[in-house]
Amino acid sequence: KDKKINSKIKVEIDSYQQLVEFIKEKVAGLSSYLLIDEEWKFCGMYKISSEFSSDYNFDELHSDEIRIISCDLSFQIQIDYDHNKIECEYIMYK
């Protein structure tokens, strides 16, 4: 079944901690898929519970993009990181 975008919201994020809190709020109690950079194309995505660590470091891990997609495909969180700038979009599907 094709899902259509119901809403797409750009979320103002100023810190890693704020980002982690936003993710925890949105995925509380839900299972999700995690896609990291382009690696998912080669090894697939990870299925995760609602546990997230605030210790994730984009610079140290050379990561610049993650996607979190709810297992029921009702929403997606897109996070792009570029030299201390964090861009976050919350996309809901109908």
Give residue-wise pLDDT tens across range 17-55.
Answer: 888 889 889 988 889 998 887 766 777 788 887 666 666
pTM above 0.85, yes or no: no
Rounded to whole angstroms, what are the CA distances from 5 to 74, 75, 92?
9, 9, 6
Report d(CA 88, CA 78) in Å as an integer: 6
pLDDT of residue 87: 92
CB of 94 within 8 A of CB of 79?
A: no
pLDDT of residue 63: 65
List all residues 6 or more positions away from 41 whose beta carbon is below 8 Å from its beta carbon. none
Tokens of 63: 């990561």
DSSP-derived 3-state class of residue 27: helix
